[in-house]
Structure 1
Amino acid sequence: MTALPTTTLPATATGGGARSGSRLALALVSAVLAVPLVTAAHQSRHAPFGDQLTVHAAVSAPAPGAPDPVLRSAGPRVEARDPRSGALRWVHERTGHRPLSLAAAPGHAFALWSDGLVTDTERTTGDAVRWHRALPGLADWLAAGPGRAAGVLQPLGPRGRMLAVVTPRRIAAYRVPDGDLRWVLPAAGGCAFEPRRSVRTGGALLVAQPCGGRGAWTSGVIAVDGLGRIVPGRTPLGNELPEDRPKSQGHRPEKAVTRPG
């Protein structure tokens, strides 16, 4: 064990001077002991949400205009591979969790994890996780049966600028650049959305919402896009970032809960 440095007091020191010297020596010893403890705490600090990003240096700086990598889940991690060579660009892992579903938009890689967390990773270089979002009860619902993650992540709007997270109780839509929650559509009373039963057509996402056999089959289908539920005469929110909004747009509320169908 490394010997601790000591302070030698003058042989003539007596009374208050000796006590002051002793206190100085104790302070120095305490400071030396604290250094390895602080260092250990710094080294053991975990990344927020358990994220671990590994960027492969050989392809960490793709040429301008290069296509985004192809995403795939491989056991406990998300892999991004070059679409031409198949080379691994980056890997995203989260301690104790695994990806259940993936989706993508230009520059963005979305993952739904086993603990119900949704992440957006910088898709081109994989050097940052932009945001994390979680919906109440999503983790328990995913754990209740296999295959439930299918259809949960749904990019919406031009170039996938919105991400809808479809669960039985609600559809929540997040603005992709910053993860801001823009609108929430609750399922109608006695009904539930079925993420696996969805289809895209003409820029809209149609999601099944069965209600236990009640009503016509058309009432069990809900149409949404990046602006919310598609209904006649709607006045949707603007989803632009504040700095991108036209000055003439005027004031609009920042969030909304749309009326269930």
Structure 2
Amino acid sequence: MPRFAANLTMMFNEVPFPQRFAAAAKAGFSGVEFLFPYEHAPQDVAGWLRESGLQNVLFNLPPGDWAAGERGIASLPGREDEFRAGVAQAIEYALALGTPRVHMMAGLVPAGADLALHRATYLANLAYAARAVGEHGIELLIEPINGRDMPGYFLVTQAQAHALRVESGEANVKVQMDCYHAQIVEGDLATTLKKNFNGIGHVQIASVPARNEPDDGEVNYPYLYTLLDELGYDGWIGCEYRPRGRTEEGLGWLAAWLQR
């Protein structure tokens, strides 16, 4: 049976971030994920998790200047010191929150840039981060993101991500398969899951093309949930979607699945 984690960056936006933990627990979630916890002290976030009886399953390494449009710095030459400081900060939070995995955002590659240099930078940073978090038993995730939502992102396809995972040689590097991004870029989700299953560390869902609740759009998610069970997936499924209305009013899909 799949375990679903609410993404508190995108869901329960009806209330401030600290209150979303209790809202998620009340709605029936036992796990949560979010993009970044860094605006809040680690002990505060840990307290919200503890009070709500929730497990944090995932968050991202610091992404650079998010407000200015940066989307990670792992592939950006000249930002290595900042990247390593971000890894240290993520480890501090992961240890405080009991988080088993963190996601390393790759960053945007400028038009006309030296792609070989960006790739080499990414691989060096990937190896550094994997070893640093691995010392604490933490898994490092990398995620392809579609170019429609994030033009210029370094990592786009599942095949590219798994090739980099293998090339890194680090056992704790896994791919975060967001079905929303994967469907937009390449489709064939079931075959991709089967082919790459041993290298997948986390799964996320949202409708395509609107990125709303996973009970609408072109992807048959109940089929994929069953397939994940058959494959023996014991991880979490992150609900990284934008609710069509109030979050609670759109959770009929979850109740229906859990009642099966």
With normalisation by structure 2, the TM-score equals 0.25
Higher relative contact order (CA 8 A, sep 6+): 2
Structure with greater strand share of residues: 1
With normalisation by structure 1, the TM-score equals 0.25
Structure with greater helix share of residues: 2
